[in-house]
Chain A
Amino acid sequence: MNIFNNLEKPVLLQFSATWCGPCRALTPVIDQVEIKMTEHADVKRIDIDKQAQIASDFSIRAVPTLVLLDKNGEIFWRHTGLISEKDIIQQIENLK
């Protein structure tokens, strides 16, 4: 599946869609995570309508879904639904 390997930093993938309300609610949370954790992880936002292949590679069956990849592109953590900034940052910290 991997277009995500040999990464400089871990990558947080946010799978979302324009028609999904909870995805919108999660976006400001991810914005904050991106700002606060910029040294430790890259954030990539994936619109499942435009990048359906990536969504299918990661077997996405619900949005919003977050997937945290380690530097080797392996899935370290996965979460569906709303979640707090603190809990996401904790997962990125766990990867350090």
Chain B
Amino acid sequence: MEKRKCLIIGSGPAGYTAAIYASRSGLNPVLFAGLQIGGQLITTGEVDNFPGYADGVRGIQMMEDLKQQSERFGTEIRNSEVIHIDFNERPFKVTTGSGERLLSETIIIATGASAKWLGLASEAQYYGAGVSACATCDGYFYKDKDVVVVGGGDTAIEEATFLSHLVRKVYLLVRKDTFKASKIMQDRLAHIDNVDVLFNTELSEILGDDHGVNGAKIYNKKRDKEETLVVQGIFIAIGHTPNTKIFEADLSLDNNGYIKTIPGSAKTNIPGVFACGDVQDSEYRQAVTAAGSGCMAAMDAERYLSSRLQKNGIFCVESNINISTVITKNGINCIENYIND
């Protein structure tokens, strides 16, 4: 079976940055890109806040640049998904969607997050036929039409702003009576006159026929009033959930499903397994923080590999690192990653 020192899961800013560092330190990493090659930023237009691009950069271009930089130092990139990892054996045993099986001594998890859905049956029914979570992908189809955007955070305002240049009118439905979005994003709306912000308002049903969406039933909580908007597109932008389904049986996760790491590091509860980017960050969720933690994960992996020893079949980290707990197994001091609840 193919054996690796370092296997990286995910091709967003965290995964590629981990790959740059891991390949430069000689770990010869393999990176599984998953279905969304390039991660979340391939669904956005311009990225204006990633350091180093003075004039901004298209999300797709930035991810292509990161990919090339990681390949320059020898990262091997494969376009499949990881579907299972056996964490009980060492090296860890990894299975991919295309049927590959390989062993790896360290795993860096950078599986990011995916768009959340409201959970309405009509949402799934009309997905691809009027319902979308990607304005840059699908806005094109709504030129001079009316659309709804659901959400009150940065992403919702970004989607609404993007769509406002294409469509006739955007109804932005915000569940609460204020935005969650940052001030700079809210300020953007002030200069746009075809976005109607409806506070205290929820999307209660998506209406449509054989041709797709043709309306939205909305409910204003404050006025206890339901009404129907005639719209052709519905864009859902209510946040993201971390992609941790395949890890939930083995890794410590917080209440919202994010992987817990030892503060100040990328270490998870399993020594040799590291997490970086949005999959372990419910707070910042930015490309630059994802990239920063990708660097940490690769450095932690490299240090783990060089400091660990195998004795009596047990892998141990010999040196005493004070962020972990020292336990004794068969007379050997081992570092156990312990994460406070």
Could you tell me which A residues sit within 8 Å of B by CB distance? Answer: 17, 19-25, 28-29, 32, 48, 59-65, 78-86
Contact = CB atoms under 8 A, between A and B. Distances in A.
Contacts of A32: 79
Given A25-B38, A65-B128, 20 more contacts: A19-B136, A19-B140, A20-B136, A20-B137, A21-B63, A21-B137, A22-B36, A22-B43, A22-B137, A24-B38, A48-B140, A59-B129, A59-B211, A59-B212, A61-B130, A62-B128, A62-B137, A62-B138, A81-B128, A84-B98
B209 to A, nearest CB: 11
Contacts of B127: 62, 80-81
Interface of B: 35-38, 41-44, 59-60, 63, 79-81, 97-98, 127-130, 132, 134, 136-138, 140-141, 211-212, 233
Contact of B141 (A19, A22, A62): A62
A65 B140 CA distance: 14
A28 B37 contact: yes
Contacts of B59: 21
B239 to A, nearest CB: 18
A80 B35 contact: no
A4 B110 CA distance: 42
A62 B234 CA distance: 12
Nearest to B133: A81
A75 B42 CA distance: 29
Nearest to B64: A24
